[in-house]
């Protein structure tokens, strides 16, 4: 069972977004793993309607197939190791982003606007509990199945928080594979909030494997390496970081681009 939870900002209508995620997964499997015709059991956990009155109808945010030859694996470089330590330093998040990652004005505006959603999540208990409950219920509805939880952007924070709660209330529950895409879980403020609400900052106890995928050009996933930020759980499970090339372009944060990246396709195919 694949369960997906989306991220920051307004989104297309529920059905359109779910169809886009499924299409991206299937395109990645078809083009990267040569797997076609496989019926994917997928459920989208949608929460944009809690923060936005009407869905996003911009056709630019609807799914489209990748241009030929654009789905490529990421090749590691030595500079990524330098960047991995950037967020161990103190300082304002936006200043650190600009200093270490050369954030341009467009990326700064994007991050500033999108982080308003995260602020509302942390500041409004009703919103926070509503978003968590939607994912929690989806997981409990399928607890008799093998579950891969695919989370993107702010959805990775909601997912992490829910998994920590479920670990306390349903210790026999298991999430076979927790996948985070373009995640802000490495941001200092996010780790601080976790340490206040659900210490320590570690892998949720019910997670059997955690894969974290990030494009180093993605301003939301500024700290692309979570392995150094989250302690292993009692079973020794820690985040496994993997850099990818999000082909969607722009700020390289789009969920569709992550879901069809070759490294993500390989992970999904192995789960299936």
Per the CB < 8 A criterion, the answer to whether 22 and 28 are in contact is: no
The full length of the chain comes to 272
Q: How far is CA 238 from CA 69, 80, 114, 202, 229, in A?
A: 33, 20, 28, 8, 10
* More confident of the two residues 260 and 98: 260
Q: What are phi and psi of 101, to 5 degrees?
A: -120, 5
What distances in angstroms separate CA 247 from CA 68, 130, 251, 253, one per listed residue?
A: 11, 32, 10, 9
pLDDT in tens, 130-147: 999 999 999 999 999 999
- Whole-angstrom CA distances from 141 to 74, 91, 159, 169, 179 are 36, 42, 15, 15, 19
C-alpha to C-alpha distances, 142 to 2, 69, 175, nearest whole angstrom: 10, 37, 10
pLDDT at position 114 is 62
pLDDT band at 222 (very low <50, low <70, confident <90, very high): confident
| pLDDT score for 77 | 39
pLDDT at position 22 over 70: yes
Band of pLDDT at residue 109, cut at 50, 70 and 90: low
- The answer to whether 99 touches 107, Cβ cutoff 8 Å, is no
For residue 210, the cross-strand partners are: 178, 239
Q: Supply the pLDDT for residue 104.
A: 47
pLDDT of residue 113: 62
Domains within the chain, CATH numbers bracketed: 2-53+91-271 (3.40.50)
């Amino acid at each position: 069972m694949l369960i997906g939870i989306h991220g920051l900002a307004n989104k297309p209508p529920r059905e359109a977004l779910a169809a886009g995620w499924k299409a991206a997964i299937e395109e990645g499997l078809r083009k990267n793993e040569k797997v076609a015709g496989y019926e994917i059991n997928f459920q989208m956990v949608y929460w944009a309607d809690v923060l936005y009155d009407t869905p996003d109808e911009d056709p630019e945010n609807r799914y489209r197939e990748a241009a030929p030859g654009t789905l490529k694996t990421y090749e590691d470089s030595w500079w990524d190791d330098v960047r991995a330590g950037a967020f161990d330093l103190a300082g304002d998040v936006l200043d650190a982003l600009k200093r270490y990652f050369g954030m341009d004005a467009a990326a700064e505006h994007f991050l500033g606007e999108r982080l308003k959603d995260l602020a509302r999540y942390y500041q409004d208990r009703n919103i926070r509990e509503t978003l968590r409950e939607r994912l929690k219920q989806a997981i409990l509805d399928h607890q008799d199945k093998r579950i891969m939880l695919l989370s993107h952007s702010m959805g990775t924070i909601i997912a992490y928080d829910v998994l920590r709660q479920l670990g306390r209330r349903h210790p026999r529950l298991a999430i076979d594979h927790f996948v985070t895409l373009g995640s802000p879980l490495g941001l200092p403020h996010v780790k601080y909030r976790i340490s206040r609400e659900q210490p320590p900052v570690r892998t949720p106890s019910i997670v059997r494997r955690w894969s974290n995928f990030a494009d180093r050009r993605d301003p939301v996933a500024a700290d692309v390496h979570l392995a150094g930020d989250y302690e292993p759980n009692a079973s020794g499970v820690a985040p496994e970081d993997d850099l990818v090339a999000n082909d969607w372009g722009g700020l390289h944060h789009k969920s569709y681009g992550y879901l069809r990246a070759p490294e993500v396709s390989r992970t999904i195919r192995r789960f299936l």
